């Protein structure tokens, strides 16, 4: 279906100047472009600038020293030059050398020998393979020809513009234009469109060709197809930004931390470069772009790093760790902030957010700022702009099957898949052991070990014991590409922006294992439930509670308070299964509580690997060296081909041993149901449930399957809030019956919700019908007055507007002292205070580095149940079952409320 021209495109077209570009315009474009590559020159008084300049010079010197020019290559490890990946990476190395040549203070600044070396290398590649007459060979990666090589080549040409002859400039521009080819494809979306447009603009800037600048600029808006694939708009399919905070690439892969960041980087660079020309991009077009910074990118960052669950196959690249993409996003913010056409309030916020990323990141220990980023941050610091508050609460992006949960001292990210979203991305011989990355992989990040997933995790982790996943232990074959999961249910919701619920109807790729899985994201813990765990692979089925990459310095571990031998440098691994166990504790993580008292297995082992085990695509760094890491794995063995396996456990990130023991002794959470039909918990005055086939809990009956959370915080809370979603994204409506004598009139509700009262005076009994058709799994909310509350209903709070999601559910951060670039220790973490939601907040780590006490006894998680008649069932009874397609159909135990058939 053809989409009509959007109002933003029409506005942009109307604002375009008919004035042709003058030589002065082109010169200004080149100056601005060069500044995006070298940083704006200013007085150096920043450790980050010194570090970045030193790193740049050192890397360039290493590249120069390792050159071995021949008839088939420039660098021996990038041979033969005729392979597209090798000439593309050769250009990228030459760009680094050209940067070092162009920046004052570098050891190569205006070194004529270096200049000649780069120019001769450009001539060699042009004469041998990459020029305006080249024809892409069959089987070669188109991206190297159309995007990767052009972007690097344009940067080099602008850096060396005054050193290149007019003929060379013309040839470079012609090469870029020829290899980019047509830009009118409807399939060209998102990051790829932004990259190609940027390269085309650059080719015009080099050759003073206004036609190419114009083509590149208007391709961003997709002028040719009336804005159908404009990168300034939300998309309905394919690559790009989606409603609700998702970013997809290659149609089915969540990628806000990879392609999404690249999209923003290239767009922000184009916006910055064009801002002083007649082809400027105005603020009206950038509305969607700026809104997504809060909804799409901030929730998937932790301590300046992009979380792994939205990075696709990039996790298998040693040269692009989590912080690399965090820094690239920071650079995008700085480009936007340095553009006068961007409204002042946005520019200030982008600088504030950039400072927040910079202050919270464990840099330069992992991956320091490059020179452009370092100069930009120096300017932000000199302007004394305070850091933005980090996100706090639960953030669901249902169109990508992802859930993020942020607390002051830790964060969690859940990767799921469905009939809509791919399990994993394995492409170009990258990410070769991905089998369970989308089957409920639960990433938990803590301040105790901030670099856990960056410490050579991916080549050494056990792919058959992925945290959060239930799977058979049968060997898997080579990964396939571009396929979705077998079932529809994958998603969840947030409750008042503070707590979260997720559910996954899991069936493995080979259909050898299945389970109904639920996660409950609370203030101080994550509760995980599983039921109907079944198998047909002829092997054991395991649910992995934890597989932790231990810090290099080792980590103490205890079971029921008894410390285990975990000294670093040990020789013999150990594995134990405990029949009766309540809790365990790991210094570098926090606590584990086993809520069903079933057998749990523990394994401590030394795992070896190489990055080439998971990535055989050429990388910048020689990463074939063997690596060894120590791991602690905790799992439930459901047996060989189980029919109705179950589990129930709690993760307490950043908790102390005393808090973990207290949680195990008196659990503040009541597991009311854990069956293949219904999984639910109750804490304080709140209930969270996944109704897999409808049912009843207390005062509420769900006629149709859904995810739902309802209740209130404490007796002082003025209203009862219900949040509900359709994780299958296939239903047309959800119907609920609420028969609660404490509910009065409606306070606020979404337009999708209809109410039918069953009693006079509109209190006590109500039928709630939610129209979910076409809402793509979003959360719907309704709020009622609580009759038992005796205050007034003036100014009742309601959920924040979409554009303020991250600010109204975030903490307030105080200034954090950042370590100098030469030190190898982490700075203290920001002190943050959650938004007031009538519960005792979790305090942040103090400057002494000690971990604060968790508010295990906070009112939200410990008050006695009061929502209907809920019987505690920490240990659910077994039920008779019959297996059909690996899904154990279980009758509800006698001690649970009856369900409503559907």
pLDDT digits (tens, 9 = 90+) for 700-726: 999 999 999 999 987 788 999 999 999
Residue 107 has pLDDT above 90, yes or no: yes
Largest CA distance in the chain: 90
**Residue with token string 């270096």:** 114
> CATH code for 393-669?
2.70.98.10
What's residue 276's pLDDT? 92
**H-helix or E-strand spanning residue 663:** helix 657-665
What's residue 683's pLDDT? 92
Q: How far apart are CA 433 and CA 370, in angstroms?
A: 31
The closest of 741, 744, 738 to 785, measured between CA atoms, is 744
According to the 3-state scheme, what is the secondary structure of 51-118? HHHHHHHHHHHHHHHCCCCCCCCCCHHHCCCCCHHHHHHHHHHHHHHHHHHHCCCCCCCCCHHHHHHH
Residue 391 has pLDDT above 80, yes or no: yes
Is 183 or 859 the better-scoring residue by pLDDT? 183
Residues in contact with 382: Cβ distance below 8 Å, sequence separation at least 6, in sequence order: none
What's residue 568's pLDDT? 60
- Entry field: residues in the chain: 902
**Residue with token string 């232990």:** 473
149-159 and 112-128 helices, crossing angle to 10°:
140
Residue 458 has pLDDT above 80, yes or no: yes
227: phi then psi, degrees, rounded to nearest 5: 80, 10
pLDDT tens digits for 808-854?
A: 333 333 333 443 333 332 222 222 222 332 322 223 333 233 333 33
Residue 364 has pLDDT above 50, yes or no: yes
Residues in contact with 823: Cβ distance below 8 Å, sequence separation at least 6, in sequence order: none
pLDDT tens digits for 622-644?
A: 578 899 999 999 999 999 999 99
Residue 559 has pLDDT above 50, yes or no: yes
Bridge partners (DSSP) listed for residue 113: none
pLDDT tens digits for 52-104?
A: 999 999 999 999 999 999 999 999 989 999 999 999 999 999 999 999 999 99
Q: Is 134 in contact with 114 (CB distance < 8 Å)?
A: no
Is 618 or 386 the better-scoring residue by pLDDT? 386
Pairing of strands 253-254, 247-249: antiparallel
DSSP 8-state assignment for residue 308: G
What percent of the chain stands above pLDDT 90?
73
DSSP 8-state assignment for residue 573: -
Q: Is 652 in contact with 659 (CB distance < 8 Å)?
A: yes
Q: In whole angstroms, how far apart are CA 821 and each of 64, 365, 372, 449, 450?
A: 25, 8, 16, 20, 18
Domain 7-382 has CATH 1.50.10.100: yes
Joined together, the tokens standing for residue 672 give 């009311």
Q: Is the peptide bond before 593 cis (omega within 30 degrees of 0)?
A: no
CA 803 centroid distance within chain: 19
The closest of 358, 350, 338, 351 to 380, measured between CA atoms, is 351
CA 98 centroid distance within chain: 33
What percent helix, strand, coil does the chain show, rounded to 5? 30, 25, 45
Q: How far apart are CA 320 and CA 300, in angstroms?
A: 16
What's residue 621's pLDDT? 57
Q: Is 829 in contact with 816 (CB distance < 8 Å)?
A: yes
What's residue 192's pLDDT? 95
407: phi then psi, degrees, rounded to nearest 5: -125, 165
Phi-psi region of 795 (alpha: psi -120 to 50; beta: other; left: phi over 0): left
What's residue 632's pLDDT? 95
pLDDT mean across residues, the chain: 85
Lowest mean pLDDT segment, chosen from 272-281, 728-737, 782-791? 782-791
Q: Is 173 in contact with 203 (CB distance < 8 Å)?
A: yes
Is 232 or 368 the better-scoring residue by pLDDT? 232
Helix (H, G, I), strand (E, B) or coil at 349: helix
166-180 and 190-207 helices, crossing angle to 10°:
160
Task: Find the mean pLDDT for residues 802-811.
Answer: 34
Highest mean pLDDT, choosing among 548-552, 656-660, 796-800, 814-818: 656-660
The closest of 886, 566, 495, 878 to 719, measured between CA atoms, is 495
What's residue 18's pLDDT? 58
**Residue with token string 């205890």:** 558
**Residue with token string 């938990």:** 444
DSSP 8-state assignment for residue 323: H
Domain range list for the chain: 7-382, 393-669
**H-helix or E-strand spanning residue 7:** helix 7-15
Q: How far apart are CA 839 and CA 835, in angstroms?
A: 10
Residue 868 has pLDDT above 50, yes or no: no
Kindly give the residue spans of alpha helices, DSSP state H, lying in 338-426.
Answer: 344-360, 371-382
Residue 860 has pLDDT above 90, yes or no: no
Highest mean pLDDT, choosing among 6-10, 658-662, 790-794: 658-662
Q: How far apart are CA 496 and CA 507, in angstroms?
A: 31
Q: Is 524 in contact with 436 (CB distance < 8 Å)?
A: no
Q: What confidence category does residue 695 fall into, taking pLDDT thresholds of 50, 70 and 90?
A: very high
Q: In whole angstroms, how far apart are CA 499 and each of 522, 525, 830?
A: 5, 10, 22
Q: State the number of CA atoms in the 13 A half-sphere of 854 facing the CB.
A: 28
Q: Is 726 in contact with 775 (CB distance < 8 Å)?
A: yes
Residues in contact with 126: Cβ distance below 8 Å, sequence separation at least 6, in sequence order: 171, 172, 175
Q: State the number of CA atoms in the 13 A half-sphere of 410 facing the CB.
A: 28
Joined together, the tokens standing for residue 797 give 């709070």
Pairing of strands 513-521, 526-535: antiparallel
190-207 and 149-159 helices, crossing angle to 10°:
30
């Amino acid at each position: 279906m053809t989409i009509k021209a959007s109002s933003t495109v029409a506005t942009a077209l109307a604002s375009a100047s008919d004035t042709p570009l003058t030589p002065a315009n082109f010169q200004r474009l080149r100056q601005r472009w060069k500044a995006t590559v070298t940083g704006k020159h200013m007085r150096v008084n920043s450790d980050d600038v010194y570090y970045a300049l030193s790193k740049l010079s050192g890397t360039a010197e290493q590249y120069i020293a390792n050159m071995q020019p021949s008839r088939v290559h420039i660098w021996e490890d990038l041979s033969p030059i005729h392979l597209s990946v090798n000439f593309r990476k050769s250009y990228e190395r030459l760009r680094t050398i050209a940067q070092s040549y162009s920046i004052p203070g570098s050891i190569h600044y205006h070194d004529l020998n270096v200049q000649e070396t780069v120019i001769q290398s450009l001539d060699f590649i042009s004469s041998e393979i990459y020029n305006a007459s080249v024809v892409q060979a069959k089987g070669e990666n188109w991206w190297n020809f159309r995007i990767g090589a052009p972007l690097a080549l344009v940067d080099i040409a602008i850096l060396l513009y005054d050193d290149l002859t007019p003929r060379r400039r013309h040839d470079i521009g012609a090469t870029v234009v020829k290899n980019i080819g047509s830009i009118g494809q409807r399939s060209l979306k998102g990051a790829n469109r932004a990259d190609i447009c940027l390269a085309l603009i650059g080719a015009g800037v080099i050759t003073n060709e206004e036609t190419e600048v114009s083509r590149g600029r208007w391709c961003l808006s997709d002028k040719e197809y009336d804005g159908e694939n404009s990168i300034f708009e939300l998309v309905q399919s394919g690559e790009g930004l989606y409603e609700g905070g998702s970013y997809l690439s290659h149609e089915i892969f969540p990628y806000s931390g990879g392609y999404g960041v690249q999209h923003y980087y290239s767009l922000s660079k184009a916006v910055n470069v064009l801002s002083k020309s007649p082809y400027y991009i105005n603020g009206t077009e950038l509305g969607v772009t700026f809104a997504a910074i809060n909804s799409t990118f901030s929730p998937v960052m932790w301590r300046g790093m992009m979380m792994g669950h939205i990075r696709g196959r990039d996790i298998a690249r040693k040269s692009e760790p989590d912080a690399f993409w965090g820094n690239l996003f920071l650079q995008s913010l700085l480009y936007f902030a340095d553009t006068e056409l961007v409204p002042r309030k946005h520019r200030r916020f982008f600088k504030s957010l950039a400072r927040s990323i910079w202050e919270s990141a464990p840099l330069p220990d992992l991956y320091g700022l490059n020179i452009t980023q370092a100069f930009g941050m120096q300017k932000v610091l000199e302007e004394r702009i305070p850091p933005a508050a980090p996100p706090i609460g639960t953030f669901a992006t249902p169109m990508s099957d992802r859930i993020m949960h942020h607390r002051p001292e830790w964060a969690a990210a859940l990767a799921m898949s469905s009939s809509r979203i791919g399990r994993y991305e394995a492409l170009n011989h990258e990410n070769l052991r991905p089998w369970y990355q989308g089957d409920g992989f639960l990433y938990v990040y803590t301040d105790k070990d901030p670099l856990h997933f960056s410490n050579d995790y991916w080549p050494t982790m056990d792919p058959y014991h992925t945290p959060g996943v239930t799977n058979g232990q049968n060997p898997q074959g080579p990964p396939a590409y571009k396929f979705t999961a077998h079932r529809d249910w994958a998603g969840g919701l947030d409750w008042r922006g503070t707590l979260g619920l997720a559910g996954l109807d899991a069936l493995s790729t080979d259909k050898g294992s299945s389970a109904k899985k639920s996660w409950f994201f609370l203030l101080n813990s994550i509760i995980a439930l599983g039921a109907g765990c079944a198998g047909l692979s002829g092997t054991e089925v395991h649910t992995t509670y934890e597989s932790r990459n231990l810090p290099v310095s080792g980590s103490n571990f205890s079971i029921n308070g008894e410390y285990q031998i975990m000294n670093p440098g040990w020789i013999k691994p150990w594995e134990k299964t405990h029949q009766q166990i309540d809790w365990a504790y790991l210094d570098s993580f926090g606590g584990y509580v086993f809520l069903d008292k079933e057998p749990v297995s523990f394994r401590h082992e030394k795992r070896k690997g190489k990055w080439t085990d998971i990535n055989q695509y050429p990388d910048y760094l020689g990463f074939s060296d063997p690596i060894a890491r120590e791991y602690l794995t905790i799992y439930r063995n459901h047996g060989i081909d189980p029919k109705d396996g179950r589990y129930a456990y709690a993760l307490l990130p950043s908790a102390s041993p005393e808090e973990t023991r207290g949680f195990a002794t008196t659990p503040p959470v009541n597991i009311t149901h854990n069956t293949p039909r219904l999984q639910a918990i109750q804490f304080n005055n709140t209930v969270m449930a996944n109704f897999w086939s409808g049912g009843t809990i207390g005062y509420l009956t769900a006629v149709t399957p859904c995810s739902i959370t309802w209740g209130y915080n404490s007796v002082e809370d003025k209203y009862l809030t219900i949040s509900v979603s359709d994780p299958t994204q296939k239903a047309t409506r959800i119907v609920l019956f609420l028969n609660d004598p404490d509910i009065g009139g409606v306070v606020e509700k979404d337009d999708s919700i209809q109410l039918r009262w069953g009693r006079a005076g509109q209190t006590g009994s109500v039928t709630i019908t939610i129209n979910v058709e076409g809402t793509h799994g979003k959360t719907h909310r309704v709020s009622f007055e609580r009759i038992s509350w005796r205050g007034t209903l003036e100014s009742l709070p309601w959920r924040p507007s979409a554009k303020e999601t991250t600010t109204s559910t975030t903490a307030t951060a105080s200034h954090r002292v950042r370590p100098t670039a030469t030190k190898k220790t982490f700075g203290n973490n920001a002190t943050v205070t959650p938004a007031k939601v009538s519960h005792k907040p979790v305090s942040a780590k103090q400057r002494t580095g000690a971990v604060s006490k968790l508010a295990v006894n906070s009112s939200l998680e410990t008050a006695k149940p009061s929502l209907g008649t809920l019987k505690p069932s920490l240990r659910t009874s077994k039920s008779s079952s019959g297996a059909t397609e690996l899904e154990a159909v279980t009758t509800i135990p006698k001690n649970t409320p009856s369900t409503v058939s559907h």
